[in-house]
Homo-oligomer: A and B are copies of this chain.
């Protein structure tokens, strides 16, 4: 390949993040390039979950006063610095779908100058549009799509709120969050950012970007475990609003007063709904404690270097075999490489999986490879590229077994 194994081993020796790999429980012999879908397991997660199981067994109901009840805000505060947010601005709760619904209701429940339209992004991860449609049906608001690749400024007329992803889940394209937020605000609208593919993938500065509302995910780059709870961010200046519509007892101003009528809490805890799982918060908390040690600028540098290394190793293969590299340029890139081969993309990913090189596939024709600087080395990336080369050059992806479609997540 165009980069030698010796040289990438040198990079690994100089890598300031190399020490983090030992904090992960990684299976032997796997090259895992799907941390953009489900992150690997921090070693500390098992102990944290076991401790919580013991707490349930021994402390029973008292556990709720020993850290379980306060977990959404405590974990939110652990997450805040990773997002460029302040203490009290982040809650870890429910899932992204539900958190978007809450924020839509919270924003549209305030004065929007008569605007009732919700815009969501075509080509975005579809749940953002699905829940916007659900919100609009129940509330009598109007939903529209921003066409994929369309100019946002041209679609904001009459729009109250737009839901945008900072990093597109397919292409890995990174939006300029500060400039886009300013543009939306200048048009008299509000924006809810979805950070599913950016939180833990690159430095984020919500406060510095003028962002008022955001949601995101903790089970991808943040290694919270399968189905770990999502997060929700509301800027401190925007917490004086009214209800969010999923008004459950945990979001009440006095949840244990058991009052008949709902009164929202005055702080970020108003975005809670009902009882949350202590076990899944325990695993996530163990990961977030580790993440608080990460230099996010070093993470970004390594992420870009890894994705460029992978592409550089394979540039000749892409050209020779008609594989389109749609990975954005560095300052517009998340932490994934995106390749398109509508004919063989699925089979190539399956052939790589058979070699224990895990990427994923999304219709139509998209191969995604995620780069997670905490538990991948440059040598891992080089070896993965070598497997990719061999899969193509040997023609093993042509085997019929790799063309059979199964359940894909």
Residues of B within 8 A of A41 (CB): 53, 56-57
Contact with B along A224-249 (1 / 0, CB 8 A): 01111110000000000001111111
Assuming the A-B contacts A61-B360, A274-B98, are A262 and B409 also in contact, with contact meaning beta carbons closer than 8 angstroms in the complex?
no
Q: Tell me the complex Cα distance, A211–B258, Å.
A: 28
Residues of B within 8 A of A274 (CB): 95-98, 127, 230
A34 close to B (CB within 8 Å): yes
Assuming the A-B contacts A226-B277, A226-B278, are A97 and B37 also in contact, with contact meaning beta carbons closer than 8 angstroms in the complex?
no
Q: Tell me the complex Cα distance, A148–B407, Å.
A: 50
A219 close to B (CB within 8 Å): yes
A20 close to B (CB within 8 Å): no
Contact across chains for B133 and A276 when beta carbons are under 8 A apart: no
Which residues 124-153 of A have a CB within 8 angstroms of B?
125-127, 129-131, 133-135, 137-140, 145
Q: From B60, B140, B280, B283, give the contact of A38 (CB < 8 A).
A: B60
Contact across chains for B25 and A225 when beta carbons are under 8 A apart: no
A224 to chain B, nearest CB (A): 9
Contact with B along A341-357 (1 / 0, CB 8 A): 00000000000000000
Q: Tell me the complex Cα distance, A37–B61, Å.
A: 7
Contact across chains for A407 and B256 when beta carbons are under 8 A apart: yes
Interface size on A, residues (CB 8 A): 88
Q: From B37, B133, B243, B245, give the contact of A262 (CB < 8 A).
A: B133
Contact across chains for B34 and A219 when beta carbons are under 8 A apart: no
A65 close to B (CB within 8 Å): yes
A10 to chain B, nearest CB (A): 29
A273 close to B (CB within 8 Å): yes
Assuming the A-B contacts A53-B45, A275-B95, are A247 and B61 also in contact, with contact meaning beta carbons closer than 8 angstroms in the complex?
no
Contact across chains for B256 and A409 when beta carbons are under 8 A apart: yes
Q: A104's closest neighbor in chain B, by CB?
A: B138
Q: From B68, B95, B131, B249, give the contact of A226 (CB < 8 A).
A: B68
Q: Tell me the complex Cα distance, A369–B9, Å.
A: 64
Residues of B within 8 A of A37 (CB): 61
Q: Tell me the complex Cα distance, A60–B370, Å.
A: 14
Contact across chains for A247 and B131 when beta carbons are under 8 A apart: yes
A210 close to B (CB within 8 Å): no
Contact across chains for A122 and B27 when beta carbons are under 8 A apart: no
Q: Tell me the complex Cα distance, A226–B64, Å.
A: 8
Contact with B along A216-228 (1 / 0, CB 8 A): 0001000001111
Assuming the A-B contacts A45-B53, A227-B278, are A140 and B137 also in contact, with contact meaning beta carbons closer than 8 angstroms in the complex?
no
Residues of B within 8 A of A179 (CB): none
Contact across chains for B98 and A273 when beta carbons are under 8 A apart: yes
Residues of B within 8 A of A60 (CB): 27, 30, 32, 34, 38, 40, 358
Assuming the A-B contacts A53-B46, A252-B130, A276-B227, are A363 and B257 also in contact, with contact meaning beta carbons closer than 8 angstroms in the complex?
yes
Contact across chains for A277 and B134 when beta carbons are under 8 A apart: no
A111 close to B (CB within 8 Å): no
Output the residue of A259, A275, A407 with the most chain B CB within 10 A.
A275
A371 close to B (CB within 8 Å): no
A320 close to B (CB within 8 Å): no
A187 close to B (CB within 8 Å): no
Identify 12 residue pairs between A and B in the complex whose beta-carbon atoms are under 8 Å apart, listed by A's number.
Answer: A38-B60, A52-B226, A53-B283, A129-B261, A130-B247, A130-B248, A134-B245, A134-B262, A138-B138, A225-B278, A226-B275, A256-B409
Extra contacts, 8 of them, besides A61-B409, A98-B248, A256-B408 (Cβ < 8 A), are: A60-B358, A65-B406, A69-B409, A95-B276, A98-B98, A101-B245, A130-B249, A140-B140
Going nearest first, the 6 A-B pairs with the smallest beta carbon separation are: A97-B248, A134-B247, A95-B274, A227-B277, A97-B274, A127-B249
